[in-house]
Amino acid sequence: MNRSPQSDPSTTGFPAQEAYLVIEQKPRDKAERSRLTKLRQYVQHHTHQTDLRDLAPAVRELMGPGYQIGCGSSHIWILPLAGSDMPAVPQRLAIVADRLTTTLQDWNGPRVSTRPQ
C-alpha cells in the first residue's frame, strides 16, 4: 500500500490518524443535512491524515458561514451559529475525529455498550 509522505509518520513525526465524521445532533433542516452528507463524503475520501487540522479549510468551505469551526491536531468541531431563521445550538453539531483514538457515534446511531460481555 502506497502512502503519501504526509501520512507517513516517519517523515512528519506525527502518528497516522484515520479521520471520520460524527454527527452528534439531528440536522436542523434539509440544507444542513445536505451539507453534512457532503462533508461525510469528503472526510471518507480523505481519511488518512497526520494532522486533522489539514481538513479544517475544507470543513469550513463545505459547511458555509453559519457555523463556528474549531480544531486541534486530532479533531475538528462544528458548532451551529444563530441565524435569521435558525437559533444557535449550544452543543456541538458534529466532529471530525481520529477513529484510532476515539469512539464517538452519530446522534441516531446504535448505542455502544461499554460493559464487558
pLDDT digits (tens, 9 = 90+) for 29-68: 999 999 999 999 999 999 999 889 999 999 999 999 999 9
Confidence (pTM): 0.75
Q: Is the Cβ–Cβ distance between 59 and 76 less than 8 Å?
A: yes
- 9 inside domain: no
pLDDT for 3 beyond 50: no
Q: How far apart are CA 58 and CA 61, in angstroms?
A: 5
Number of domains the chain contains? 1
Residue 40 lies inside a defined structural domain of this protein: yes
Is residue 116 domain-resident? no
| Domain housing 84 | 17-98
CB-based contacts of 49: which residues, under 8 Å, 6+ apart? 6, 7, 16, 17, 18, 19, 55
Residue 12 falls within a domain, yes or no?
no
